Each structure stands twice: as structure tokens, then as C-alpha cells.
Structure 1
Amino acid sequence: MRQTYLFTSESVSEGHPDKVADQISDAIVDLFLSKDPEARVACETLTTTQKVVLAGEIRCKGVFEDGKWTDGALEEIEQTVRAVVKKIGYEQDGFHWETFDFENYLHAQSAHIAQGVDAAGNKDEGAGDQGIMFGFACDETPDLMPATLDYSHKILQRMANDRKSGAAPFLEPDAKSQVTLRFRDGKPEAATAIVLSTQHAPGYDEGEKEAELKKYVKDVIADILPADLLSDETVYHINPTGTFEIGGPDGDAGLTGRKIIVDTYGGAAPHGGGAFSGKDPTKVDRSAAYITRYLAKNIVAAGLAKRCTIQLSYAIGISEPLSIYVDTHGTSADGVSDEAIEAAIRGMKKLGGLTPRGIRMHLGLNKPIYSRTAAYGHFGRKADGDFFPWERTDLADDLKASLG
């Protein structure tokens, strides 16, 4: 590892058009799982000026049966979509929760996909697709996340809370943040640059109102970042383009799954390429990414490494992963090899295996918990006062014991 370097991560707010799409897709996942814990969902969302479009494949008892929608299902789906946009806060001429045009093109899941995924006879439930998934953890923050991404998320979360509470009424839902830190010996040493672009009410792009907005943003940054990282040398770029009144889906089209690096580790670790939002947990793009984060976090929490990347790979219809790969980036504890950690994971009976069903059962993924994941990252944070199940560190002692 280099002794000194700069690293940058970005985040986007819940009002960013791609994040609006992610939240709608995951609200549909939650709706279906609340009706049927074994529902199959692959829901993609498009958002643009005064329009939301759903497309994808589903199977769900009580909602979509024998190729037909049940009574009231279509109305409930539309109500769910509008409720998401209302909660985010869009009541603008170019995108209003109550008046946007809504189109629903969800349809039955392919029978050829279903035969590979469903358990049948002596065949266990298979992976919903082929692919590679990565998990990561590091000791840069208490939640074992990359510091640049952690601060980027928290700045925007704070601003969203202030907007909704009325503490910052000049803010509108769309926003982006970016934090650059200088690292020394793997630890954050200084914030060298911070970029913040936020949609705002009319008039907050000049004069005293612009100064008020910029002071507010700097105050939020000062509250979020540790004081010793900020100095007179920190460079701030706040709304660097000037006016930012037109935002959200009215300013740019949004699509599910376009913010996968924001969703994971801010570029500090590889990404397998598959998005999470809109997918039920039989899709290993989602569930295997969660279990690899869980494993990597427990390895770091156990003191077995300061940084850890884990990869799993799957084939569609096949239960067991094709490969398990561990890389501690030269930070593992004395006498603990990456190969030994791989072997410990394979032999961990408490884990219940790394099959799609084993993952779902161990982490309790067949529940409607996904709307909460769809903004400000899937990892390293609490939602509604509690950590997601893949953020638990209840495997740390077992790992230490098996490698002791």
C-alpha cells in the first residue's frame, strides 16, 4: 500500500433521478414480498419529466397469478409508486407525485428462468443468474466502511433530514456530494476537496441567499467530518455550475441500477456489475453481495485483517458458488493467510452454506426490508434505527476461533 495518496468517493441524494428509480423498484420488491415471501421480482424503473415507467418480470401469490393481475393489484402498485415520490418530496411542475404519468409493463417471469431457480425434487434452489459478487470492509470508520464514501453519504442524509424538517427550506430533493481525502499509511489525514451540488429554491444562486446556502452546506460538512480533517487548505466547490433549480427526473432521466458504486464502496473495492435494487433475494446479484459484505466485515471486526475483499461466483440454476476468493491486501494478522480465511468460510457450519437459500435463511432476506436500502448505500449504516442483517458482526468470534 502506498504511504500517501488521494482518494475520492461520491454519493447522490434520494432525490437524484437514478435514486428515485432505485427506491421505486425496491418499493415494488417490498410490496410483493409482503404478500408472498417467495415472490420473484425483477423490476426496472424509468423516471423522466412527469413520467414513471415500470418494466420487468414477476411472480407473486395474491398479486399476479396464472398470468393475470389480482383485483386491486394494479391500483396498489401505482399507489406504492406515488407514495415513494411523495416521501422523497417531489411536488414540482416538472415532476409531481400526484400528477406524473404512470405506465406499468411488469409481466410474468420467464418459465425458463423459473425452472433453474426453483427447488424441485432433489434439486436445491439455484442462483437466479450467473455472475460475480464482491464484498468489502476496512477499518477507516467505526462501521468498517471507506471514509470517503461514508462522509459523502452522511452529508446528503443530513441535508435531506434538514429539508424535510424545515430547517433548510431552500433545499430541493436532488443533490450530489463528493469527498476527496488524503491518506497516510492507510488512514485519512486531511480533506483536500469537497464538492456539493444541491437543487435549490429560486433565488439561491446569487447575493445573500447564495451566501446563506453555501454557509449552510459548509456548516453541515463541518458537523459530519472530523474537525482534524478540515483546514484552511480544504477546497470547497458548492454548486460550481451556478444555478441548480431544475433537478430530479425533470432535469435528467433516471434508471434503476445506475448508481452501483454509490450503493457499495465508492470505488474502494471491485464491483461485479450487477445492480441490487428491484431484485428479490433469489438474485445473487443482491443476496451474494450482501453475504460477502457480511463476511468481509466480520473478518475485519475479528481483527483478522484491516482490509478485506471477498468474491463469490455463481452459475444460473446451480446452488453452490463456483469460487470463493479472499484478499486481505497484505493487512492480515500474523499467521493468518488468505487461503486459511477461505477455508474457514467454507467450513463455517453456523453460516449455513453459501447457496442462495442458505444466504437468504441466514440473513433473513425474505422480508420487505429493501426500500430502506435504496438511498445512501446498502452497507455500513443504520436504517430506521437498526443495522441491516448483513451488517451484524456475530460471526467474528467464530472466525477468530477457527483461525486461532
Structure 2
Amino acid sequence: MTSRFLFTSESVTDGHPDRLCDSISDAVVDRFLQKDPYSRIVAECALSKNVLFLAARFATQANIDIPQVARAVMGEVGYREQDFDAANCSVLTSLIAMPQEQRAQADERDLSPAELDRLTVHSQVSVFGYACRQTPELMPLPISMANRLANGLTRARQQRRLGYLSPDCTVQVGIEYHDNRPARVASITIVAGSVAGRPVDGAELRAHLLADVIQPLFADDPIQPDAASEIFVNPRGAFPKSGPGSHSGMTGRKTAADTYGAYARHSGSALSGKDPSRVDRVGAYMARYAAKNVVAAGLAEECEVQLSYAIGHAGPISVRVQSFGSGTIADADIGTRLREAFDFRLGAIIRDFDLRHLPARHRPGFYQQLPIRGHMGHADLPWERTDRADSLR
């Protein structure tokens, strides 16, 4: 990577159709695991105008009203009926009930190491985790700022400070790097829709966003917008229509925003809508956990961990580390320490993060909140702990 460059990451608010599909898919996962933590469930959906199509495949002892779960999530987002009618839109489903024998047959917390070896993955995938020193949460600065800005827009709407905002907004943050380190905020772009019947002047919207969202959000940051930062608000004009009424959505189309804002690699697989037995989801969390502990231990300024899984194996067939020249020891030595300090087997990931039982301890759910907040970078998530840093030093 060159020493001087500009990098931009995108995030969206909770009412963006893609994000809404992610939230619905994860809400379905939550409900199944709350009723039966040993369920297997994969769910995904597509949304356009007044139709939601939801496909799910599951093995469970629970009885879940899947369309009602979807309507509840859509209703909570806050669209007005004129923009999107969650209560009366069509919900089409394609549901496949698998045999009960395909449920998890034991609690991973009770299994011996030999028994965990017999819990093999059902898909082949290479997943990536990344961490760096750009922010306190060890995330790249562009996606960290973009996610905070998107969440700030949502709060401003929910708290009625900017009640005319649509639940569907998109943001981009561009960061200028000098010597591979964040130096300044180069640009902020906000595409903000307005609710039906509430047109707002472009200059008024810009002034409100600056005063109520952007300036308070970044006021205490060491790097924040300056006089030369370009701030664009609806650069192509007003957006009187937004949300599912104007564009469609689908589960898994915001994976870059879910992870590292395209600053670092990710597996490309959707994270949402999958129970903990899916290594293409939980393996990405484990890779982030490993990378973050490497950086927290001071072994590198930035670190990427790649885990490659193959069908029929309990753990990864390869573990690869890259520190991009920032490591204090060789990348191969960091990899050796990771294999000694971490258990990358699927059953161990489920056990150590307690992934089957988190939905029961969070209301309305655990997984449902991840697409809205971002799957990475929040201290209360189990894969964001740095409790293995001492053992890596």
C-alpha cells in the first residue's frame, strides 16, 4: 500500500433495504435459538416495494411464526405507511424443515477435546480477520467513522431531533493517509431521504446534519473534519422517496460495511442469517478475535489472519498471518503463537463465544443487532475481547 492515499468506506442506516434484510434474517436466527439453542437455521430474504420474500431451512424443536418475526422487524424500523407499510406488505416464504437429527446433538460447553474433534464443518471457506492501530477499537478509521455517522443519523431520527429523516440513509467517509497513517478527514458524503410529505430544503438539511450529527459526533476525536474537508449532502438533489418503495434489498449485500469497510479482506460470504454451526459466519468472528489480540499484544501495528476450512475437518486446514511489514516478530512466528493460544475448531468457537445461548440473554435478540451496529469493533461482543494478548507476548 502506498504511503500517501485516500480511502473511503460506506455504511448505511437501519432502514436501508439491504440492511433491513440482514436484520430480518438475523432476527429469525435469534428467535430459533431463543426457543431451541440447538436449532440449525439458515435464513435469507429479498425486499422490494411491498413484497418480502423470505427463504429458510431449519431443524428445530421450536415453533416460530417466521412471517410475524419479519413484520416485527420491519415495523420497528419506523417507516410511515406512505413510504412502506410493514403491517400490510406481502410476506412470501419458502420454508424447508429438515429432520430433527440435524439439530445440534450436544452442548459444546460439555464436550471433551476428542468430542470437539468430531464436530466438523459443513462448508468450505476462507475467512479473514483484521485489526490495526487506527482507532481505540483497533478498526480501520474510515469504516469506524462511517458506522458511527450512520448510527448518529438513526439516533437523530429516533430522538426526533431530525424527525423528517427517512430510516434509509447512506454515508461515506474518506480518510487521507500519510505514511500509511490516518491524517485527516478528506470528505463526508450523506445521502439522506426524507419521509413522505416532509420535503426539506437542501441548505437546511445540510445545516441540521452539521449541527446535530457531524460536529457533535466527532468533536472529541483526534482526527475530525477540518475547514478543508468536503462535506456533501444529497449531492444529486433531494431524495423524496427512499427505502423499499424506491429500491430493493437482499441479505448479504453489505458485507464490506459489516466488516472492515473494504480496507481489509473479508470472505465475501454473508454473515447474517446463519446459526453458529456455519463456519463462514463464526470463523470470521474468530479470525477478527485472533487478529485483534495480535495487535493488542504489540506483535504488529496491523494484522490480517486467514483461516481456511474444508468439509469434514473440525478446525482450519491452514492459518496464515500477514502483518504487512509492521510485525515485531516474523509473521510465521505470530502464526505459531496463534495456533498455540487459540482453538480454531468450530466447536471450540461456539463454546468459547457461547454463541448458542447469547440470543436468550439479549432482548429482543443478539444477532439482530449486529447488522445495524456492525459485526466488528464493539467492545461488548465476545470476539472483541483482548484476553489472549498476554499469552501471545
Same fold, TM-score > 0.5, yes or no: yes
2:61 corresponding residue in structure 1: 61
| Alpha-carbon distance in structure 2 between the residues aligned to 1:102 and 1:228 | 45
The residue type equivalent to 2:378 in the other structure is: R
CA gap of 1:39–1:111, structure 2 versus 1, over 3 A, is: closer
Q: Residues 3-402 of structure 1 correspond to what in structure 2 (within 5 A)?
A: 3-63=3-63, 73-74=64-65, 77-109=66-98, 114=102, 124-201=118-195, 209-219=201-211, 220-225=213-218, 226=221, 228-333=223-328, 336-348=329-341, 351=342, 353-367=343-357, 368=359, 369-381=366-378, 387-400=380-393
2:362 corresponding residue in structure 1: none
Deviation at 1:51, TM superposition (A): 1.6
Q: Is the 8 A contact 1:202 1:245 kept in 2?
A: yes
Can you list the C-alpha shifts for 1:354-398, whole angstroms capped at 9, x where unaligned?
11111110111113221111223100025xxxx110111111111
Deviation at 1:106, TM superposition (A): 1.9
SS in structure 2 opposite 1:381?
coil
Deviation at 1:297, TM superposition (A): 0.7
RMSD: 2.2
| Alpha-carbon distance in structure 2 between the residues aligned to 1:159 and 1:237 | 15
TM-score, scaled relative to structure 2: 0.90
| Alpha-carbon distance in structure 2 between the residues aligned to 1:172 and 1:201 | 5
SS in structure 1 opposite 2:54?
strand
How many percent identity over aligned positions? 36
Deviation at 1:94, TM superposition (A): 4.4
Q: Is the 8 A contact 1:8 1:179 kept in 2?
A: yes
SS in structure 2 opposite 1:91?
coil
TM-score, scaled relative to structure 1: 0.88
Deviates more, 1:232-241 or 1:173-182: 232-241
Where does the alignment leave 5 or more consecutive residues of structure 1 unmatched?
A: 64-72
| Alpha-carbon distance in structure 2 between the residues aligned to 1:78 and 1:203 | 29
SS in structure 1 opposite 2:319?
strand
| Alpha-carbon distance in structure 1 between the residues aligned to 2:197 and 2:142 | 31
The residue type equivalent to 2:81 in the other structure is: Q
Can you list the C-alpha shifts for 1:132-177, whole angstroms capped at 9, x where unaligned?
1000001100100110000001011011011111111111100100
Deviation at 1:231, TM superposition (A): 2.2
| Alpha-carbon distance in structure 2 between the residues aligned to 1:347 and 1:322 | 15
Number of equivalences: 376
Deviation at 1:251, TM superposition (A): 1.2
SS in structure 2 opposite 1:233?
strand
| Alpha-carbon distance in structure 1 between the residues aligned to 2:376 and 2:340 | 25
| Alpha-carbon distance in structure 2 between the residues aligned to 1:105 and 1:229 | 47
Q: Is the 8 A contact 1:189 1:229 kept in 2?
A: no
Deviation at 1:118, TM superposition (A): 7.2
Q: Is the 8 A contact 1:39 1:60 kept in 2?
A: yes
| Alpha-carbon distance in structure 2 between the residues aligned to 1:85 and 1:29 | 16
